[in-house]
Amino acid sequence: MISRRQFVIEVMGAPIIGAIISLGADFARSRHKRRFLSIMGASSIMGYVKATLPKWEDQHGNVGVAISPGGSYAGLKGIASGHVDLALSDIEPPPGYVAVPLHRFPLGRIAVLIVMHPGIGVKDLTWGQTQALFAGDITNWKEVGGQSLPVIVVSRSMSSGARQVICQRLMRGREFSSHAIIQLSNGAVAKTVRESPGAIGYVEAVMPLSQIFVTSLSQYHYDPVNPASWPLYAEPSIYIREMAQPLVRDLAEYLAHGSEKSRFGIYSGSRQGRRRG
C-alpha cells in the first residue's frame, strides 16, 4: 500500500511527467522536421551574411543555415554539384564552369584598395608604378620616392575575386612577381602588409584598415563616405540554381535586399540580376 502523501505526489506528478514526455516527443518531431540550408563562397561577403542571417532564421524557426568560406570558385562549384544551396561570389562564373542554369542576386560593389606598410614613406602611386611594383619591376621603394626598403608583394590566390579585379583592371595581362606572398583572405593580406616593412598588397574594403596605409591611385582617392568614386571594385553576388526551392530563393532575396550592406563595405552600383548557364 502507498501513503496518502505518496498518492498525492503521484497524482500531481503524473500530468507533469506526461507533459515532459509530450514536450520531448514534440522536440524530437521538430528536430526531425528541421531543415538546413547551406551557404559557401567569398570571404569578403561573410561578415554581412553572418550579421544578417539571425533575423531571417528567427522568421523561419524550423530552418537552420550553415555557412562555409572557401572562396568564390568553391561556392560556385558547390552549387554546380548540388552540395550547396547558395553560393557567394565576387566573380562571375567562368564560361563552362557551372553547367546548371543559375540566377544571380547582385549585392552591389566592394572597393578593392591598394594598401602599403605605413613606414614606406609614399603617399600616392600612379597606375604604372603600382603595376610595376606588383610585377616585380620595381624592387626598392626608393625608386618611387620612398624609403630604401625592398618591395614585398602580397597577393591573393587565383580563386580570389579581388585578384581578378586587380589582374583585369590594373595589371592588364601582366603577371604578379614570382616572389609574391600569397594569402587566402583579406584579413591575412592586411596582417602581412601591416607586419612587413616594405609590403604592398590589395584588400577589399570590408573591414577596419588600421595600421596600414591606403594609397591614392593617380587622381583617385578612396573615400569611405563616397566609395563609388574609387575605380577598382568587385561585384559580389549570390547565386542559386534557377530551379531552386522557394525557401532558397526567399533567403537569397532577403540577403540581396538587406539594409546593413553599407556597414560591411557593400555599396550600390551593381548590374541587374540575370540568368547564366
Instruction: Copy the grid coordinates of residue 98.
Output: 557551372
Q: What is the DSSP string of 6-62?
A: HHHHHHHHHHHHHHHHHHHHHHHHHHHH-EEEEEEE-GGGHHHHHHHHHHHHHHSTT
User: Helix or strand or coil: residue 162?
Assistant: helix
pTM of the model: 0.80
Query: How many CB atoms neighbour CB 76 within 10 A?
Result: 26
Rounded to whole angstroms, the Cα distance separating 142 from 144 reads 5
Tell me what pLDDT residue 184 has: 87
CATH classification code of 34-108+236-276:
3.40.190.10
Architecture, CATH, for domain 110-229: 3-Layer(aba) Sandwich (3.40)
Q: Domain ranges in the chain?
A: 34-108+236-276, 110-229
Rounded to whole angstroms, the Cα distance separating 143 from 169 reads 24
* Fold match between domain 34-108+236-276 and domain 110-229: yes
The sheet with strand 237-241 has its strands ordered as: 63-68, 35-41, 86-89, 237-241, 102-106, 275-276
Rounded to the nearest 5 degrees, what angle is found at the Cα of 120, between the Cα atoms of 116 and 126? Answer: 65
Q: Per residue of the chain (277 residues), give pLDDT as tens.
A: 444 433 333 334 444 334 333 434 443 444 445 689 999 999 889 999 999 999 999 999 889 999 988 888 889 999 999 999 999 998 888 888 888 999 999 999 999 999 999 999 999 999 999 999 999 999 999 999 999 999 999 999 888 889 999 999 999 989 999 999 999 888 999 999 999 999 999 999 988 888 899 999 999 999 988 999 999 999 999 999 999 999 999 999 999 999 889 999 999 874 444 444 4
